[in-house]
Chains A and B, each alone.
Chain A
Amino acid sequence: MRIGIVGAGNIGGTLATLFTRSGHEVALANSRDPRTLAGQVAALGPRAHAATAAEAAAFGEVVVLAIPLGAYADLPPEPFAGRIVVDANNYYPARDGRIAELDSGALTSTGLLARHLPDARVTKAFNTIHWEHLRDLGRPDAPAADRRAIPIAGDDAAAKAVLTDLIDQIGFTAVDTGLLVDSWRQQPDTPVYGAEVSADQATVLIAQARR
């Protein structure tokens, strides 16, 4: 599968490694000139290339966003139309500034992204896991019960099925948190956020979330 990754930091870079290792073609972008990624994509091997954010979106059937929330506004919505977008980001007020709709709970952070990308099939995943655990804890050969859970959310069931399969390929197991309006259950300060747990444990932690 062709996967675009916008954001070449810890989460984005780690996903680029895991997806290329699983046989996928990756276009990796950051907020700067793609030439600044030359060394990183060379290390990823022939299945990866550097791109602008718009090029990565146009390239990928799936496009992962691993960039700070404040950088959403700079993304051009057009190339994301029809794409399965995976939002790996979190709202951290200390970094991102206060956003009243998020503070009040009127909107989830991924809901905010979906509003910016109205024609994309927006999902949320990889926002609860520490990047070193993402790098090290995948067990593609292990049965689902022995894998670490990765909570996902989204309104498009077919998009979530594709995402679930990708998560399975890199050795984790996806746990469905629900729709984007439910995705607060996997945002920072909830029980499942950062939890190193199995799918069953994640299921109950997601149910346990309060706001």
Chain B
Amino acid sequence: MSVPEILARVLGDPAAAALPAGTPLLSGGLGLDSVTVVRLLAEVRAESGVDVADLDLDLDALATIASLTAFVEAHRGTARPDRGLGRS
């Protein structure tokens, strides 16, 4: 499952999967609150095995949908997923 698809699931809004990749995740964009960010990162970790919060100490990865997607793709395969089969 891709980052935009995970985002759509967390937000409960299928249309979110088609948002422009440059959409900011926080203020000036989707305005995700910390509770939602926690859920999003947990889902990303479960799906991809990439623990964004653990790997990106500044969390620049959370700037936009594109930056989070790029970060996850760059780190796939470096950690074991919580469940299921990881993708390489």
B35-60 interface code vs A (CB 8 A; 1 in, 0 out): 10110010000000000011001010
Report how far A145 CA is from B34 CA in the complex, Å. 15
In the complex, the answer to whether B53 meets A203 with C-beta atoms within 8 Å is no
Nearest-Cβ distance from residue B3 to partner chain A, whole angstroms = 15
Q: Is the interface of B mostly helix, strand, loop or mixed?
A: helix
User: Do A182 and B59 touch across chains, with their CB atoms under 8 A apart?
Assistant: no
* Chain B hits for A175, CB < 8 A: 33-34
Given A176-B33, A177-B34: A203 touches B26 (CB 8 Å cut-off): yes
- A82 interface residue, CB < 8 Å from B? no
Closest B residue by C-beta to A149 = B34
A206 interfacial contact with B, CB 8 Å: yes
Of the candidates A182, A199, A200, A205, the one whose C-beta lies within 8 Å of that of B35 is A182
How many B residues have CB within 8 A of the partner chain?
14
Per DSSP, chain A at the interface is helix
- B37 and A204 contact, CB distance less than 8 A: yes
Q: How many interface residues does chain A have, given as a range?
A: 10 to 19
Residue on A nearest B26 in the bound complex, by CB = A200
Assembly CA distance A199 to B53 (angstroms): 17
Query: Chain A nearest CB: distance from B63 CB in Å?
Result: 9
Q: Footprint of B on A, CB under 8 Å? A: 144-145, 151, 175-178, 182, 185, 199-200, 202-208, 210
10 contacting pairs across A/B (C-beta < 8 A):
A151-B34, A185-B34, A185-B38, A203-B26, A203-B32, A203-B37, A204-B53, A206-B38, A208-B53, A208-B57
Given contacts A177-B34, A199-B26, A206-B34, 14 further A-B contacts (CB under 8 A): A144-B27, A175-B33, A176-B33, A177-B35, A182-B38, A185-B34, A200-B26, A203-B26, A205-B59, A206-B37, A207-B34, A207-B41, A207-B59, A210-B53
